[in-house]
Amino acid sequence: MSCYGDKKDFTAGSSSFDHCLCDVIKAVKHIQDAGTDDNCEDCPTSCFTKPLGGLASPTAFNTRVINLLTKDGTPFKVYKPDCTKSGTPTYSFTCFRVEKIIGDCCVMLRAVFKDPSSTTNPWKATGLCVTVDIRCFCGIICVDDVFVDLCPYD
């Protein structure tokens, strides 16, 4: 269910369900995959800003960091599981990198975080990935264009 109800509540003029966040997520993934592109959008904070790096100063980028907002406007969080007896998660993450588009509106997200102690590459990847139906969210914020080393994660 999206934040506006079930698919049956909409008539999009076709057999497929239209949801703007699906298009935004696909655009973010496309921009990440393209690397560099000379087309620029008018709004400097738009998720559709091209090329990758358009939200930051010029350098090599591979990630457009995003936050997703739930129906009540709070940031979507994932927790690093704790499989000890306490079962209490120790870390939560609200920033993500689009890893993979699955079908029309499912997406695999990798949790990323900003390490304030790092001055060269402050954004770090985690090994925590989550697959979500993007129709369950009502907003997206594009935070920054950055380079994230995807191999050595926590």
And the tokens for 80?
């690093």
User: What pLDDT does 13 receive?
Assistant: 41
User: What pLDDT does 2 receive?
Assistant: 46
User: What pLDDT does 40 receive?
Assistant: 47
b/e burial code for range 74-112 (CB count within 10 A of at least 16 → b): eebebeeeeeeeeeeeeeebbbbbbbebeeebebebbbb
User: What pLDDT does 123 receive?
Assistant: 92
User: What pLDDT does 39 receive?
Assistant: 53
User: What pLDDT does 153 receive?
Assistant: 59
How do 106-114 and 123-133 pair as beta strands? antiparallel
Domain parsing of the chain, residue ranges: 7-146
Q: How far apart are CA 153 and CA 70, in angstroms?
A: 27
Contact 127, 141 (CB under 8 A): no
The series of mean pLDDT values per 10 residues for the chain, 154 residues long, is 46 50 87 64 71 77 94 93 70 93 93 90 91 94 90 64
User: What pLDDT does 66 receive?
Assistant: 96
CA torsion sign, 95 to 97 to 99 to 100? positive
